[in-house]
Amino acid sequence: MSSEMVDSGFVSSEEQIIALLGEIQDWQINHGSLLKNVKSQSEHSVYSYPVGVSVYPSPFPQSEFRRAMEIQLIYNELYTAIASNEDWLYHVTKEMVSSHPLANALWVIHRQTKAAGAAQEISAAIFRSDYMLHMSNNPSSSNDCIEPTLKQVEFNTFSCAGASHSKRVADMHRYMTRTGAYDLETATGQHNPNALSLPSNDNIDSLASFLASAHAAYGSPKNDTAKRTALLYIVQPYNFNIADERPIEYALWNRDPPVPTYRLNWGDDILQHTSLTDTQELLFHPPGLPVRDPMEISVVYMRAGYEGHEYDDIGQQARLRLEMSSAIKCPSILSHIATFKKVQQALIAPGELERFLTPEKAAVIRKTFVMQYPLDKTTEGLFARQIVHDGDCSNYILKPSLEGGGNNIYDRIPEFLESTPTAAWPSYIMMERIQPPKSRNVLMGPSGVEEGPVVSELGIYGACLWKQTNQQSEMLHNSYAGWSFKTKHAHIDEMSVVKGYGCFDTPCLQ
């Protein structure tokens, strides 16, 4: 235990911090706030390790937290409209197809599905919009502000993870608050967190309830060989993040009546254990279960299939079978394509938001944007290329259209692009750096326990169900579905918790 941490002001003695860390460890073990070590297990045992967490809740303005919740419904409306406009979506992403394997695979699968005829008009999606607070240091900037304001980091439409972990950590901080474990007021003069300042988080139940609604929207089995319908989770093999995925599955089974929910690994398992009927129902033949009759899949919930290497021949066949089926997809393949950073960047241009939203709603959304540039041959793209040529990219981040964290380029943008074929540049965007305010906290993660300056990121979940006809969408369900909150040391660029960059946290609303 370092003396720096003991003398930081959060605690007055090493004995106190050791007791506090012990309480957190016990909570994590008892509540499944863990990651599975898939490389160290046998038939009779499995090893796991705690997910990274903050020891204390981190401050966040209540007004911006509430605003993020309120505008999620507008963001849901925006992205369902985008996913319903194939022409616009292709126009925005077409330059990626030749150099981006995932974009190419998704568009090929979509065209094959479209040629076969749409088997399902209803789509489902679980979104997550991520924000940081921004404080401008440039008096002439359009983002200039006295108080920190909400700025969007990215919008996620596929495999939006972290909900269960966020719920567990929020419950942990609320429990620690009730027991009187925190004494920030005495130690530092800060206000102690209380039940009112730490928001509850019901995202597990919210997401399960939404998936149950999608399941109900599908209705009863259409095929005579199926006696019941079920929801199918598509997951990655050797899955270390089961403590984030499984709680939603368990919540679906615990409903009254339960929603039957099963898992299949991405790839060959899909081809082996599912089949398409002549009328495109997706039948599931459960491996290892004493079930004679197949089940008809109502909803396919994707938690795998977001990385380019997953789309070998088998991966493409598996995704094509899912897409061609009459099951409701969460998300649809066009919704998946909408997660690319190129889409987020394209919405910056004047008039683009108004294609999908009323001017009033577009104005609300635009306030959350920071400047973003393409790296193509448009006027904006040539401007960005000139910034790269000049060599001063310290105020920008280079983002590829990849998911999972750890992919962004920061201070070495010119060197990176110099080593990248020019034809691949349009797959990247250059985004203005958000300048978040710093606070102090103690973070407890894979690298140990360390106190210091930190910055936080708020994620808001949204859930929506819509019916699409002729590139128009009719919203059937639109809801806010909880939040995630992540904190990292201020000197670290990336935020992914499961990759060890940050920690799950709870906002202490002020």
Known binding-site residue numbers for Mg(2+): 403
What does the chain come to in residues?
510
Nearest to 90 by CA among 108, 74, 69: 108
Nearest to 306 by CA among 156, 164, 408: 156
Whole-angstrom distance, CA of residue 431 vs CA of residue 374 = 9
| C-alpha to C-alpha distances, 371 to 60, 154, 268, 434, nearest whole angstrom | 23, 12, 42, 10
DSSP-H helix ranges across 133-193: 163-178, 184-188
Residues placed in the known binding site for ATP: 341, 399-408, 410, 431-434, 457, 488, 494
Residue 208 near residue 182 (C-beta atoms within 8 A)? no
Whole-angstrom distance, CA of residue 181 vs CA of residue 19 = 9
**DSSP string across 60-82:** E-HHHHHHHHHHHHHHHHHHHHH
3-class state of residue 468 by DSSP: strand
In this structure, the dihedral spanned by the alpha carbons of residues 413, 419, 422 and 425, taken in order and rounded to 10 degrees, is -40
Residues placed in the known binding site: 341, 399-408, 410, 431-434, 457, 488, 494
Residue type, 324: M
Residues 6+ apart with CB under 8 A from 314: 267, 268, 271
Whole-angstrom distance, CA of residue 77 vs CA of residue 462 = 10
Whole-angstrom distance, CA of residue 65 vs CA of residue 58 = 13
The pair of structure tokens assigned to 403 is 């998911």
Residue 291 near residue 277 (C-beta atoms within 8 A)? no
Whole-angstrom distance, CA of residue 481 vs CA of residue 210 = 9
